[in-house]
Chain A
Amino acid sequence: MTAIEKTGPLDRMERSVRAALGIVLILLAWGFGWTSVEAIGALLLGLAALATAAAGFSPADRMLSRFEGLNRRDGNRQMKPGD
């Protein structure tokens, strides 16, 4: 299990993916009728996708990469004999 190399900043490709996903999710929320659980979930995730695309930064990646850092310090690197 190698660490997933995502620490927060988003490149152009990921920003485009998130922008497209955000638009699709907001359209889905409209299709679901705005008030159902699926619609609210799609709306929240769509807004988060658009916000992170606009900011070019993902706080979730930053937080998770810190945990991964703890994993690595804890001895995960032993799993890669080629290192």
Chain B
Amino acid sequence: MSQAPLLSSSSLRDPRLGMVWLAARLWVGWKFLEAGWEKVTGSEWLSSTEGVHGFLSGAGSAEATAGEHASVSHWYAWLVNNVFLHVQGLLAYLVPLGEIAIGIGLILGIFTLAAAFFGAMLNLLFMLSGSLSAGVNPLMFGLELLIMFAGAAAYVYGVDRILLPQIKRRWANRSSHSQPGAAPDAAPLPQGGS
């Protein structure tokens, strides 16, 4: 850390910043969990598609793309009208359940980097739809990018610190078993070249 510039990517990956990333993860994860839970327990998203229809219709409307400083770009409005509105029934389930999964992943640190990536994608879609949510979406998007840059340091205090080595070990064992004539698990690695 002392060798690297203050804000280089290697300084972000320093495990000593683990608690900073924990604080960021908890806040972003809570916002996702809260938003997903509201949609699941509310009547507008899962029982009918009114919620998602209202959101997408607003993003794809002529008013949203009108003017010199439109809140939604034309290409995205086209995408909303020609793709997203046709699968609004699917989106009514995917968005809230995705938000809950991302929230749990970030809070507990389970598949942290994947949760941060999908969270960033979701926030990006919301922002492209013209929804800044009082600046919360851009802030969450920025924090998710930083969490992704932080890599393993982001889950110093998370389940991944224990879980990922286990998964990797099992995966390595499985691939060694699948090769014909593979050495048993505990066999030493061959020494020397050729």
Q: Which A residues contact B (CB, under 8 angstroms)?
A: 1, 3-6, 10-11, 13-14, 17-18, 21, 25, 37-38, 41-42, 45, 49, 52, 60-61, 64, 67-68, 71, 74-76, 78-79, 81
- B168 proximity list for chain A (CB < 8 A): 1, 79
Q: In whole angstroms, how far apart are the Cα atoms of A37 and B33 in the complex?
A: 12
Is there an interface contact between A41 and B30, defined as CB atoms closer than 8 Å?
yes
Closest residue of chain A to B166, judged by CB?
A: A71
Q: Which B residues contact A (CB, under 8 angstroms)?
A: 1-2, 15-20, 22-23, 26-27, 30, 152-153, 156-157, 161-162, 164-166, 168-169, 172-173, 185-186, 189
Q: In whole angstroms, how far apart are the Cα atoms of A20 and B5 in the complex?
A: 19
Supposing A41-B30, A45-B26, A78-B172 touch, asked if A13 and B165 sit within 8 A by C-beta, the answer is no
Is there an interface contact between B156 and A4, defined as CB atoms closer than 8 Å?
yes
Q: In whole angstroms, how far apart are the Cα atoms of A9 and B152 in the complex?
A: 19
